[in-house]
Each structure stands twice: as C-alpha cells, then as structure tokens.
Amino acid sequence: MTELANDRLLRALMRQPVDVTPVWMMRQAGRYLPEYRETRKRAGSFLDLCKNPELACEVTLQPLERFPLDGAILFSDILTIPDAMGLGLYFAEGEGPRFERPVRDEAAVKALGVPDAEQDLGYVMDAVRVIRRELNGRVPLIGFSGSPWTLATYMVEGGTTKNFARCKGMLYERPDLMHHLLSVTADAVTAYLNAQIRAGVQAVMLFDTWGGVLSPRAYEAFSLQYMEQIIGGLQRASEGRAVPVVLFTKGGGQWLSRIAKSGCDAVGVDWTTDLADARVLVQDEVALQGNLDPCILYASGERIREEVGRVLDSYGHGPGHVFNLGHGIHPDVDPEHARVLVEAVHELSPPYHR
C-alpha cells in the first residue's frame, strides 16, 4: 500500500496533533461542480453513475483536482443497502429516491435479509479499489453508510418524507417490527462498512440524517443503539493504522454528550451548536467534525473567510477538529466559494495548532 502523503484528516479524527486543520465538505463530489454534471450526463441515470466504479472514481476525485481538500469521500448513494436487500431503488426525476417495494408490514419486515456486501454490493467495493489506486496516497478515502434508522425511514416510507408518518407510525405502534428491521439493517451496515474497510477506505462515517426527528427516548432506542452496535462490530484498523469512525446525527446537538460515548472516534456537528459548546459536551473525548452553515457559501468570499475564522475560533486550540460544513454543500453554490472555504481553513488555522 502507498504511504499517505497527507494524513491530517486521519490524525485529526484520532485527536492527534496536525499542522493545519484538515477540511473536506459533505457532498463535495456533487452537482455544484460542472464537471460532475458532465460525468453524470455521460453515465445515464444517477444510479448508473453510482454503480459504475470508473465513473464513481472520476466524480470522487473531481473536487480534489480543484481544491486542496484533505480527504476524499467515496461517491455512492446512501440507499445502496436497501437496494441490495431487493427493495428496488429508483430515482424519479427531480423527486429523490424511491423504492418499488417499500417495507410496510410484518411479512415485508420479516423477509428482509442481510445482503452479501462483497457480492451484492461488489460495485461499491470495486469503486473503493479504483479510487484508492487513482488517489495514489494523496489523501485518505472516507467510506460511509446511512444509519439504520435513516435507512429505515426510506425503506418504510418508500422514499423521502416530510412527516415520517409511516416509519414513526411503525416505531410507535409496532416497536417490535421496527426493532427487527433496524437489527437486520444494522448487521447489513456493519458488514458493508467492514467490506469497505477491507477494500481500502481509511475512515468511515455513519450518516444519521434523520435521527434528529426523534424524541430523545426514541433516538436512543431506535437510532443510537443500533449505531453503537455497528461501531462495536467494525474493524478498527487497517494497513497498520486506525480506521477512525465518525458518527453524525443531523439535528442531534442536544444529545452530543451521549453520542460521544457511542464508541466512535469523532462526532459530526451541524451549525446549530457552537463547537465551543460541543467541545465541552463531549469533554474532548472524541474529535469534532463541522460545522459551517452551508448557506454561508451563498455569501461573498470576504464573509465566507470571516465565518470560517469564527468556526476555527469556536473550536479553539488543540487537536481534534476536522473542518466541514454542517450539511452537504448545496447544488446551486458557486464552486469558487467552496475554494474560498477550503483555502481559508488552511490559511487561518495554523495558529490553533501551535
């Protein structure tokens, strides 16, 4: 395996000293980049793009060609697992993901099985291998999965939802069914992330996009518990170094101290919590990743630099901060504004590491 030329991201995620704060952006390989839209057109559908390892590699690397980012994140969809479970993922143009066969009754829940990550999701592992080869040790590659609860919302609703009526209906009315669904899904996520690690990802992130719509009690029982189970089952080292695990519950600011005890190495923080407060809540036991409001990228370069400075200052001195947005970059953002962000992090952060 190639030596890593830039390992700041991995070091910061493990709370080890770094020279400057590492930075990457959620959805950095995405629609805001014209070259992404170009590749996407060539690929055919969005799913075709995800399932083509060469093209998935191409879009994964695109933001790195433009900006001095400290990490690459595997280009893939959050719903590959339920797709591999046989739910029939498709994308209705302009309407987001949909499943042909949503999981809405006892029979459907009980029929769910854990996919074979190497076989049924082999295209993802192929993409990881191709990306690692093409990255050639420049920066680490981050793998990821949706959290079981987040996947469950799509699986039960059959797509995106505003009210979470069906999935919360099942959670409240048939907690036994929801637990079964989540348990199978947690096993699938564990196997999936371990396969990604074997294929070459150097850090993994659990995206709990919809954990924040739950009550504290339901969050603990139906989301966090399963993420803890996954974290406990992950291969935590590869190629002679630690594989850091990041857990990000969007809207989970109130539960940060609890999340920090999940066994993860780093916690994602959205922009509704100051990093200074978050740091107190997690008692410096984990690294923090975040947390610029992605809407700041709609403002001018000068304002972006100012806000980057505020985030760095809010985290303050010492190791354990990975700069990121608090949510994926919006598709209508000017790529040059993303450049300002990345460059500002590198330029303004050294004083915090002295």
DSSP per-residue string spanning 196-218: HHHHT-SEEEEEETTGGGS-HHH
Question: Residue 194, preceding bond cis, omega within 30 degrees?
Answer: no
Residues in the chain: 354
Name the DSSP letter for residue 173.
H
> 96: which strand partners?
92
Q: Catalytic: 11?
A: no
Which range binds its own copies by CB under 8 A, 40-48, 104-112, 139-147, 290-298? 290-298
Binding-site residue total for its own copies (CB under 8 A)?
Answer: 34
Q: How far is the CB of 54 from its own copies (least distance, A)?
A: 31
Task: Spot the catalytic one: 77, 126, 274, 313.
Answer: 77
Candidate list 2, 45, 119, 163; residue touching its own copies; CB under 8 A: 163
Interaction of residue 77 with its own copies, rule CB under 8 A:
no
Amino acid, single-letter form, for residue 182: L
Would you call 40 a catalytic residue per the annotation?
A: yes
Is 31 in the active site?
A: yes
172 is catalytic: no
Mapping DSSP to helix (H, G, I), strand (E, B) and coil, where does residue 165 land? helix
Q: Is 303 in the site for its own copies (CB under 8 A)?
A: yes
Q: Where is 257: in which H helix or E strand?
A: helix 256-259
Rounded distance between C-alpha atoms, residue 242 and residue 14, angstroms: 8
Q: Which residue has the tokens 């006892």?
A: 106
- Residues 8, 15, 27, 279: which is the catalytic one? 27
| Cβ pair 341, 69 in contact under 8 A | no
- If the CB atoms of residues 51 and 321 are measured against its own copies, the closer one turns out to be 321
Name the 3-class secondary structure at 246.
strand
Q: Assess 271 for contact with its own copies (CB under 8 A).
A: yes
The yes-or-no answer on residue 236 being catalytic is no
Q: Which amino acid is at 335?
A: P
In the list 5, 237, 280, 299, the residue contacting its own copies (rule: CB under 8 A) is: 299
CB of 163 to its own copies, least distance (A): 5
160 binds its own copies (CB under 8 A): no
Is residue 307 within the footprint of its own copies (CB under 8 A)? yes
Member of 106, 277, 284, 347 binding its own copies (CB under 8 A): 277
**DSSP string of 176-194, one letter each residue:** HHHHHHHHHHHHHHHHHHH
Paired tokens of 223: 């989301």
| Residues 205 to 244 in contact with its own copies, rule: CB under 8 A | 212-218
Backbone phi, then psi, for 208, in 5-degree steps?
-100, 70
Per-position x/- string for 322-351, each x denoting binding to its own copies as judged by CB under 8 A, each - no binding:
--------x-x-------------------
Q: Which one from 36, 154, 192, 226 is the annotated catalytic residue?
A: 154
> Catalytic one among 11, 40, 98, 279?
40
Q: Contact 345/323 with Cβ under 8 angstroms?
A: yes
Binding its own copies (rule: CB under 8 A), the pick from 183, 198, 272, 335 is 272
Helix then strand then coil, % of the chain, to nearest 5: 50, 15, 35
274 lines the binding site for its own copies (CB under 8 A): yes
352 binds its own copies (CB under 8 A): no
Query: In whole angstroms, how far apart are CA 166 and each of 96, 103, 125?
Result: 18, 10, 32
- Name the site residues for its own copies (rule: CB under 8 A): 163-166, 168-169, 172-173, 212-218, 251, 253-254, 271-274, 277, 293, 295-296, 298-300, 303, 307, 310, 330, 332
Residues assigned a catalytic role: 27, 31, 40, 77, 154
